Structure 1
Amino acid sequence: MRHGNDTPALLRSATTATGDKVDVTLADGIVQAVVPAGTAAIPTDSAAVLDLDGHLLLTSMAEPHAHLDKAGSWDRIHPPMGDLRAAIVSWRAYADTMTEADVVDRARAQVLRNVRHGTTAIRTHVDLLRGPDPLLGIRALVAVRDELSDIVDIEIITLSPDDIPTDTIEAALDAGADGVGAAAHLAPEPLEELERIVGIAERRGCVLDMHTDESLHEVVTLDALAGLTRGWTTNVSAGHCVRLGTVPAHQRDALIATAKESRIGIIANPITNLYLQGWGDDVATPRGIAPARALLDAGARFAAGADNVRDPFNPLGRSDALETAMLLVVGAHLTAHEAYAAVSSGARDVMGLPAADVTPGAHADLVAIRADHLTQAVAEAPADRIVLRRGRVVARTSSTTDFPSLTAPAPLEVAR
């Protein structure tokens, strides 16, 4: 059912991340003005007013690293718990049997969960498959992208093993993929595979997003990626970068400086890498996460994503970027504000999207969360949310709580 204020002209009495109470006027999907609460002119059409009293108004979340073709497959595969390579083996066995309809159904459900929680843009990696139909996943995600284009931006990046021919990768771009990527560090000849994928992106002028150094102890390819893409104007990202968090500090800082010089966006994936990495380290298990503090302190482009959700690479996940933000606080020692930026404005920057914010001139991709301040929102992940994309409400969630055994009904006091 559509509501009368699905395209509001005024967001009234919202609280910003800095604690200010404001009225926000919108038009044509853009924030027009931000003024103290109670001072904006009220539209004659009351349906054009969205009352956000009690809500925190923030830049909507963006997911810079997803695998929508894999999402929700854990219960179908029942894979062994283990490391990255074991997950790859179990996924490939399932991929040999799955249908295009299966991928569409799981991906659509995952996207809707993301949007419900406040995500209005998703970059998804999609496997190019071995066998007679390597573009099955690409076709499925193009269909989902088209179907849900009114509520979310979806960007498709190819993910290809080293034995997938270059012609197949090019065909995936022709079929609707937006960019290319691979996990070159897993190839028998990592630098040769990296050069091949970089060459395709350069030739096609498309987005390049590499899975990079997803290991605690093995080869580092970030330096080579930075060297190969120095001076590029197209968007380049490096996901995972787990090894960057375990090399000596002087080497880490030099690699970060090199990546920053080439304007490579670094995308941490805390939930999946904390799950996958360190199984062989029984004592003082290292944290499987990119060095977020060092990256932010150096001024590098930094974002964070959920990566895998309930598939062989990660059995858990709530499809909520606030979960990713919480893990950045716990696992990477960021503040709540830094962590939220990584899953919102930072993610949009790394994805090459226009800025969205509670600021005049910014895109009105916003999320209103029932909370008093940002730390509470990250800590509690309140269910009550209103999601706007380009100034239009695309999702609403509300919740109620009863305590029927209490003799006198009392409101639930939420810790502030």
Structure 2
Amino acid sequence: MDQQLPRPVTLLRDALLPDGRRVDVSVSAGTVTDVAPARTRTAPADAVLDLDGRLLLTAPAEPHAHLDKALSFDRIQPPLGDLGSAIEAWRDHATTMTVEDIADRARTQALAMLAAGTTAVRSHVDVLSGHGEASLHEATRGARALVQVRRELAGLVDIELVALAGPHVPDEHVEAVLDLGVDLVGGAPHLADDPDADVDRLLAVAARRGLGVDLHADENLDGPVTLDRYARTVRDWPRDRQYSAGHCVRLGTLSPARLDEVIADLVAADLGVIALPITNLYLQGWQHPVATPRGIAPLRALIDAGVRVAAGADNVRDPFNPVGRSDAFETASLLVSAGHLTPDEAWTLVTDGARSVMGLPVAGVAVGARADLVAVAATSLVDAVANAPAERTVIANGRVVAVTEVRRTVAAPLPATPLPAGLVS
């Protein structure tokens, strides 16, 4: 594509939809205004994107990222291991970071996600207080970096920020990070000496500030459960903000009766759950060398009960996950193989489900929906999830913001030759 990006478009011509239809999609002011049979609509040539039968999907949203940690694995060289060892490696490295270093990695990561089709990201950002000994200036390094990147990428990627406050972070530092424009209150109460008390502390901060909440919750295969206390506390809170929890792998090891109790609380509070398969599959189960249990939220039980469920990639190439492709198709594929979802369900969790828990407007190929879309060289949604085609065109708010084109050359097979007579049956 020769045109400079971003490029506004008013017509996406000849798109293939997952239901098999070939359509033209009209767009105005970033919103889908018409969906008609293919090649029946016209627009000025410079405002047309001819998809020529490529599969057009709702663009993914990433509901749980760590842009401040991303792409730090090679620099840190941490030992491979569980959650505790990852936290220790990150904490040691964090004392050496600058705002510029964090911003450079975060920007690179956000743009990689955009190129893969993700048009909205919710990123947690550590309140860098260590065990409370850091100054306010030191504690806010990550937040200052991510607020800067959010400003630079405005109009390309919608970025929400969550203040990730560990159990030892003083409220003063949390408040300072929120004062910078961070959007939600977060933390990891299951890591505290008194998990319930830390839930109460973080929710009190959110109540004072009138903010939504997105907690790391119960990121372990045994131990305390904090989700039900969280859900019961926010059940009657204002609905003009979002309440959600990431990880939630402890739910997958509860007895059926106990799981039903927690799920009932989640439904009553309309509290969203964010599954994070790649990082939890990596971090959980190291202490069980035989019949190793796998860490993933119980997706089928949550979906069937009516819980709002999303899924994300979480960490990418940092001490908490040394791999990851910054690609929602990778997350969707893992939801199929590790979470036993259908490809349709998996894609819904990284698109509609993610946008729901993030409080974003509906997107997709429907009149009135936001024109956040990704076109891929695939014949069906199953084909797309299975193969994650590299060739993509990304549309955010009605503008083409990323194009990846691929050229492939494969050697031809040898000409067929008859088998010797003795080998023919």
Q: TM-score, normalised by structure 2?
A: 0.93
1:367-406 equivalent positions in 2, closer than 5 A: 367-403=374-410
Report deviation, 1:283. Answer: 2.1
Matched, 1:181 2:180: no
Structure 2 residue matching 1:65: 3-state secondary structure? strand
Structure 2 residue matching 1:31: 3-state secondary structure? strand
Q: Distance in 1 between matches of 2:372 and 2:6?
A: 16
Report deviation, 1:4. Answer: 8.8
Aligned residues with identical type, % of pairs: 54
After alignment, is 10-19 or 349-358 more displaced?
A: 10-19
Q: Distance in 2 between matches of 1:382 and 1:342?
A: 19
Question: What is aligned with 1:18?
Answer: 19
Report deviation, 1:313. Answer: 0.3
Aligned CA distance change for structure 1 residues 194 and 38 (closer, same or farther; 3 Å):
same
Question: What is aligned with 2:255?
Answer: 248
Question: What is aligned with 2:158?
Answer: 153
Asked whether the equivalents of residues 5 and 50 of structure 1 are also in contact (C-alpha less than 8 Å), the reply is no
Q: Distance in 2 between matches of 1:394 and 1:250?
A: 48
Report deviation, 1:2. Answer: 3.4
Question: What is aligned with 1:313?
Answer: 320
Report deviation, 1:256. Answer: 1.2
Q: Distance in 2 between matches of 1:405 and 1:39?
A: 39
Structure 2 residue matching 1:107: 3-state secondary structure? helix
Report deviation, 1:370. Answer: 1.0
Question: What is aligned with 1:266?
Answer: 273
Question: What is aligned with 1:411?
Answer: none
After alignment, is 2-11 or 368-377 more displaced?
A: 2-11
Question: What is aligned with 1:346?
Answer: 353
Question: What is aligned with 1:7?
Answer: 8
Q: Distance in 2 between matches of 1:74 and 1:240?
A: 21
Report deviation, 1:326. Answer: 0.4
Report deviation, 1:179. Answer: 0.9
Q: Distance in 2 between matches of 1:2 and 1:176?
A: 35
Q: Distance in 1 between matches of 2:118 and 2:5?
A: 22
Question: What is aligned with 2:212?
Answer: 207
Q: Distance in 1 between matches of 2:108 and 2:6?
A: 26
After alignment, is 24-33 or 286-295 more displaced?
A: 286-295
Question: What is aligned with 2:89?
Answer: 90
Q: Distance in 2 between matches of 1:36 and 1:314?
A: 44
Report deviation, 1:120. Answer: 0.4
Question: What is aligned with 1:110?
Answer: 109
Question: What is aligned with 2:78?
Answer: 79
Q: Distance in 2 between matches of 1:112 and 1:104?
A: 12
* Counterpart AA for 2:15: A
Aligned CA distance change for structure 1 residues 207 and 5 (closer, same or farther; 3 Å):
closer
Report deviation, 1:218. Answer: 1.1
Question: What is aligned with 1:128?
Answer: 127
Asked whether the equivalents of residues 279 and 315 of structure 2 are also in contact (C-alpha less than 8 Å), the reply is yes
Q: Distance in 1 between matches of 2:38 and 2:303?
A: 33
1:36-51 equivalent positions in 2, closer than 5 A: 36-40=37-41, 42-43=42-43, 45-51=44-50
Q: Distance in 2 between matches of 1:255 and 1:307?
A: 23
Structure 2 residue matching 1:328: 3-state secondary structure? helix
* Counterpart AA for 1:35: A
Asked whether the equivalents of residues 5 and 49 of structure 1 are also in contact (C-alpha less than 8 Å), the reply is no
How many aligned residue pairs are there? Answer: 406
Report deviation, 1:254. Answer: 2.0
Matched, 1:30 2:35: no
Asked whether the equivalents of residues 5 and 401 of structure 2 are also in contact (C-alpha less than 8 Å), the reply is no
Aligned CA distance change for structure 1 residues 60 and 4 (closer, same or farther; 3 Å):
closer
Question: What is aligned with 2:418?
Answer: none
CA deviations over 1:172-214 (Å, ceiling 9, x no partner): 1111111110000100111111100001111111120000000
Larger Rg over CA atoms: 2
Structure 1 alignment gaps of length 5 or more: 409-416
Question: What is aligned with 2:335?
Answer: 328
Matched, 1:296 2:303: yes
Q: Distance in 1 between matches of 2:277 and 2:232?
A: 26
Structure 2 alignment gaps of length 5 or more: 416-425
Matched, 1:359 2:358: no
Q: Distance in 1 between matches of 2:371 and 2:53?
A: 19
Structure 1 residue matching 2:55: 3-state secondary structure? strand
* Counterpart AA for 1:81: L
Q: Distance in 2 between matches of 1:141 and 1:47?
A: 35
Report deviation, 1:357. Answer: 1.2
Q: Distance in 2 between matches of 1:140 and 1:370?
A: 36
Asked whether the equivalents of residues 6 and 401 of structure 2 are also in contact (C-alpha less than 8 Å), the reply is no
Aligned CA distance change for structure 1 residues 4 and 240 (closer, same or farther; 3 Å):
closer
Question: What is aligned with 1:229?
Answer: 234
Report deviation, 1:54. Answer: 2.8
Q: Distance in 1 between matches of 2:268 and 2:35?
A: 35
Aligned CA distance change for structure 1 residues 355 and 217 (closer, same or farther; 3 Å):
same
Q: Distance in 1 between matches of 2:230 and 2:139?
A: 26
Q: Distance in 1 between matches of 2:6 and 2:226?
A: 50
Structure 2 residue matching 1:332: 3-state secondary structure? coil
* Counterpart AA for 1:65: H
Report deviation, 1:406. Answer: 6.4
CA deviations over 1:44-66 (Å, ceiling 9, x no partner): x2121111123111110000000
Structure 2 residue matching 1:348: 3-state secondary structure? helix
Structure 2 residue matching 1:158: 3-state secondary structure? strand
Asked whether the equivalents of residues 269 and 306 of structure 1 are also in contact (C-alpha less than 8 Å), the reply is yes
Q: Distance in 2 between matches of 1:397 and 1:379?
A: 18
Report deviation, 1:253. Answer: 2.0
Question: What is aligned with 1:69?
Answer: 68
* Counterpart AA for 1:124: S
Aligned CA distance change for structure 1 residues 244 and 4 (closer, same or farther; 3 Å):
closer
Question: What is aligned with 1:257?
Answer: 264
